[in-house]
Amino acid sequence: MSEFKTLRGMRDLLPEEARMMIFIQDTARRVARLYGYKEIITPVVETYELLAAKAGDEVRSRMFAFKDLGGRDVALRPEFTASVARLVATTFKNEAKPFRIFCLGSVYRYDEPQRGRHREFWQSDYELIGASRPEADAEILILTDRLMREAGLKDVAMKIGHVGVIRGILSQEGVDDREQNAVMQLMDKKEYGSAISLAEKSGISEKCVKVLEQLVQCKGNSVFEVIDRMKELAKDYGKSLESVENLKQILDLVTGNDDVINVSVDAGFARGLEYYTGMVFEMFIPTLDIALGGGGRYDKLVELFGGESTPAVGVAHGLDRVLLGLQNQKMTPKAEGRKTVFVFPIKEEQRAHALRISKLLRDAGIMVEDEVMGRKMTKALEDADRRKMDYAIIVGERELKEESVVIRDLKKRQQHTVKIDQLLNELRT
Ligand code: AMP
């Protein structure tokens, strides 16, 4: 038989990386609690129809889709938003607004594997449902910034745009939704020339072409200057202008924060998922050219799943990329400084006693490994030493008669006898 390997795009996280991943997940959960987001757990497998409904061609074409044994068309979730929108349209229909939902788990996309791009990856997802005001958009941006910083990343930067700016212009020029989606997909890939040509084919005016050509150049860190230029360009397009104003209000809130977030505005910035209706954003760090997270406003999504018209804004963070970013920046979270103990019975007769001592230690929160290989003491202690354990507790007949055991400091290579009822004190000091 040939040697088994993981599937292409799938990978194992071994203890060191798994520990970092869990640290990042713990951070995401802590941030969710700090902002009042309630965690829910949704299925990995959903109907194809639900997941495909508004995912955008890009994600749709990369879904792990199959027929289950009952002949149903199903797929592995490529993101959480569709599942959350399903709940908002059904179970949470009568929930008082606003409400805040948090999901954390693995998602699946048949992407071309490369650095930071896998077919199974982890996301933390925050959705703020029922609020249309800029404060809600700002909350999502600010909590994202906090999560990235608390995970330990440095020099986090945020790129912000607003799909309403370009869509507003295209709508006014009579470009229908389907054609707009195709234009936005090209914009998402930064193929601005092709995007504008496509819009031209849909019949936009010459003036509009000029406006779009200049708009996609509007970007930079002097966010309010960029906003002014956008306003000037969009001045004849009512809906587009409203979108620029909305973006400005969000930026006012975000940059007015004590901990000023490093933001830049990019007027031609679109995102692959079709459901966005307003502000969109992505997070970056200098050493990685791929986004660590992204999100935005999607006011029409819940309606699409049969719910009432419900404004919503959310974000998904790519936790594998946060991990990669931490590795790039050499920011390993500290290992737990807890003591580790190996418990060794000298003879078979002391096995049950040894287990009782292990229990006593574990009840006090100490990590204990028991001897399970039936080895001689020298071998077993050498092994505990090699695995960098702190102490060995040696349980022998003679000591047990005096309610004692031997404690050996594996680092200092010293040992002495201690009464069992003093053992915890001894380990704590
Ligand atoms: P999206 O739902 O496409 O906005 O993705 C949200 C975040 O998930 C992105 O910003 C990435 O950080 C992460 N992500 C997307 N695709 C992948 C992938 N194939 N592998 C790892 N992370 C990904």
Mean pLDDT of 340-356: 96
State if residue 81 touches ligand 1 by the CB under 6 angstroms criterion.
Answer: no
Structural domain boundaries of the chain?
15-328, 340-428
370: nearest Cα among 356, 388, 385, 390 = 356
Q: What are 304's two structure tokens?
A: 């699409």
313: nearest Cα among 139, 97, 94 = 139
- The whole-angstrom separation of Cα 264 and Cα 35 is 24
The pLDDT mean for the chain works out to 94
Shortest-distance Cα residue to atom 11 of ligand 1:
318
State if residue 270 touches ligand 1 by the CB under 6 angstroms criterion.
Answer: no
Distance 195 CA to ligand 1 centre (A): 23
Q: What are 237's two structure tokens?
A: 């397009």
The answer, yes or no, to whether residue 348 has pLDDT greater than 90, is yes
Give residue 412's pLDDT band: very low, low, confident or very high (50, 70, 90): very high
185: nearest Cα among 177, 350, 106 = 177
Distance 69 CA to ligand 1 centre (A): 30
State if residue 209 touches ligand 1 by the CB under 6 angstroms criterion.
Answer: no
Residue 407 to residues 226, 244, 353, 429, Cα–Cα distance (Å): 68, 70, 15, 13
The better pLDDT of the pair 338, 78 is held by: 78
To test ligand 1's pocket by mutation, which of 83, 110, 111 has the most ligand atoms within 8 angstroms of CB?
A: 111
Q: Characterize the bridge pairing of strands 404-409 and 391-395.
A: antiparallel
The answer, yes or no, to whether residue 54 has pLDDT greater than 80, is no
Distance 415 CA to ligand 1 centre (A): 53
The answer, yes or no, to whether residue 413 has pLDDT greater than 70, is yes
First to last CA, the chain: 53
Q: How many CB atoms lie within 10 A of CB 75?
A: 21
Give residue 331's pLDDT band: very low, low, confident or very high (50, 70, 90): confident
Q: Which atom of ligand 1 lies nearest, measured to the CA of 322? A: 12
pTM of the model: 0.92
Strand locations in 169-287, DSSP E? 219-220, 262-266, 279-285
* Percentage with pLDDT > 70 across the chain: 98
Pick the CATH number of 340-428 from 3.40.50.1220, 3.30.460.10, 3.40.50.800, 3.40.50.150: 3.40.50.800
Pick the CATH number of 15-328 from 3.30.930.10, 3.40.50.620, 3.30.70.260, 3.30.70.100: 3.30.930.10
Distance 293 CA to ligand 1 centre (A): 7
State if residue 111 touches ligand 1 by the CB under 6 angstroms criterion.
Answer: yes
State if residue 144 touches ligand 1 by the CB under 6 angstroms criterion.
Answer: no
How confident is the model over 360-373, as pLDDT tens digits? 999 999 999 999 99
